[in-house]
Amino acid sequence: MITGILRKIIKSSEVALLMTNKREQLRKIVNAPVKLSHSVFGEIKAVTGDISNTGVFVRMDDKPALPKGAHIKLQFLSSVYPNVSFNTRVVRVTDEGFGLVFVDYEYGGDRFTMNKLKHIWNQEV
């Protein structure tokens, strides 16, 4: 189940249903608008396909050519925390888009580990 951390980032109305699979982290189908930033393509808007506590799949029609391991900055456009941006790394490339793992996040000009985010937001719950 997606924790309170991701529920705070993504509006609950964008969460569709639970996907069951053999991954370590359960994924939910989420159609949330995001902005992706990279030096190769600048900034583009896309939509998530699914999300877990450790990563996200981003669907794109005109996907830029990026290899596994490329770093992309991701921002959830409809987030209740719009100033939080996630540093991600490409771990899967398909015809439909990219599988990204969350590396860390930035807020207020500072960079934090994902564990720090979990700790802070779990205190708010």
Counting residues of the chain whose pLDDT is more than 90, the rounded percentage is: 44
Specify whether the CB–CB gap between 30 and 97 falls below 8 A: no
pLDDT tens-digit map of 40-59: 899 999 999 999 888 999 99
Answer whether CATH 2.40.10.220 is correct for domain 4-124: yes
DSSP letter for each residue of the chain: ---HHHHHHS-GGGEEEEEP-SSSS-EEEE--EEEEEETTTEEEEEEEEEE-SSEEEEE-SS-----TT-EEEEEETT-SSTT-EEEEEEEEE-SSEEEEEEEEEEETTEEEEHHHHHHHHHHH-
* 29 compared with 124, residue with greater pLDDT: 29
Each domain of the chain, given as residue ranges in start order, spans: 4-124
**Is pLDDT larger for residue 122 or for residue 61?**
61
Per-residue pLDDT tens digits for 56-113 = 999 998 888 888 999 999 999 988 888 889 999 999 999 999 999 999 999 889 998 8
Band (2; pLDDT cuts 50, 70, 90): very low
Residue 28 pLDDT: 83
